[in-house]
Chain A
Amino acid sequence: MAPSGLRRANDPPLLILVSLADGPKHGHALAKDIEDFAGVKLGPGTLYGAITRLVERGLIEPLGGDDRRRPYRITPPGSAALAAALADLRRVTSAGLARLGLDPA
């Protein structure tokens, strides 16, 4: 089981961590990026609910600057939690693909 409650591929906190893995982003940039790479459209309420929980758990942190479009970045514990969650997902994905006979390996 992945730590920090990151369980499903479409969990908003997991999607936010993935989006921040390549650099800091503010709310609107996060929503656009997540829609681009995952096809999931997060509403403002859902996005900021997830951001609040991630900040509380120390997995992401705000950067200084514009108060209205404050960027966030992933923290080292956030990177570790994301890596663990993705490893879990990869294990499940590999098992599923292998059982379907679709695993290239």
Chain B
Amino acid sequence: MKPAGLLRWYPRAWRERYGEELLALIQDTLDEGRPTWRLRLGVAWGGLRERAHQAGRAVRAAVKRGAGPDLWAMMLVAGTIVAQLPENLSESPPPARGWQAVAAFDAVLAAVALTGAVVLAGGLVALPALVRFLRTGGWPKIRRRVGWAAGATVAAGGGLAGLALAGGSRSPAQLDASWAYLAGFLATGLVVAVAIGRWAIAAEATARHLTLDPRLRTAQLMLVAVTPATVTVVLVALNLWWSVTQSPAWLVAVPVFLGSASVSAWLRIRRAARKGRRLRAAARTGR
């Protein structure tokens, strides 16, 4: 591997700032020789540490932006699902409370459909600008990120298919007792989360290149602000369902979700409205 290839371990922003300097140092150190394994490992380790550092900074920035309650709620629900699957799928609600479980489950489906509709609407609003961007040669600017997201999606699909195959012939109780299944479940959950994260990164990178009308931009900001609220409805309805099929103790989580999500949603919607007003004002001044 040539010294320049070692830079691939580092994040792009770091390479742009320090890459040439690091290469010069490596060349000075080698004095016409080839990089040793020790040097390669040292540089690779440095690159991974830099990536970890950037990831930590991104998480801190997300928390600072007010995404904290959402992250916390997502972690809570992930833990809940891991703790409850798959045995909760085999439980039936008491006959007298069957309608409550059905209503909660219908609410989950409705909220999922509403979330999907909001996300779809956000995409449709930006579609003409995306087509313009791609027609004017924008694809190379987003190809790498979309490629990563597609790769992670394929890996997630493989993991889910593997789980379905592994669990198909066994009862929920057998699956619950299997450490291998649990490990596969956790690994797949991680890959699915990475895939979702990579698509979010790809979408954000693409959005930076699009030119949207201020009114469309405002509409999109509001849609983005509303999405976590619909996700909260899903979480609350899931907890209601579990409270019927499993234990009333699940009701404890409802005010927690509602409280954290209300604060977060309120802050997001207020920020979106303020930014929309600024965008429209800037557009009027420009005209």
Q: Which residues of A are at the interface with B, using a C-beta cutoff of 8 A? A: 26-28, 31, 43-49, 51-52, 67-70
Contacts and interface: CB of A to CB of B under 8 A. Distances in A.
Contacts of A46: 42, 46
Q: What is the predominant secondary structure among interface residues of chain A facing chain B?
A: helix
B236 interface: no
Contact of B25 (A47, A49, A67): A47
The 3 closest A-B pairs by CB, nearest first: A45-B46, A43-B42, A27-B25
Given A44-B46, A67-B21, 14 more contacts: A27-B22, A27-B24, A27-B28, A28-B25, A31-B25, A31-B29, A43-B39, A45-B43, A45-B44, A45-B45, A46-B42, A49-B46, A52-B14, A70-B21
Given A43-B39, A45-B42, A52-B50, A67 B20 contact: yes
6 contacts: A28-B28, A44-B26, A45-B47, A47-B25, A49-B46, A68-B23
A67 B28 CA distance: 15
B8 to A, nearest CB: 13
Interface of B: 14, 18, 20-26, 28-29, 38-39, 42-47, 49-50
Nearest to A72: B21
Contacts of B39: 43-44
A52 B18 contact: yes
Contacts of A45: 22, 42-47
B264 to A, nearest CB: 29
A48 B22 contact: yes
A21 B254 CA distance: 58
Contacts of B50: 49, 52
Contacts of A69: 21, 24
Contacts of A31: 25, 29
Contacts of B47: 45
Contact of A68 (B14, B21, B38, B45): B21
A51 B19 CA distance: 13
Nearest to B38: A43
A82 to B, nearest CB: 22
Contacts of B29: 28, 31, 44
Nearest to A32: B28
Contacts of B38: 43
A13 to B, nearest CB: 14
Residue among B21, B38, B46 with the most chain A CB within 10 A? B21
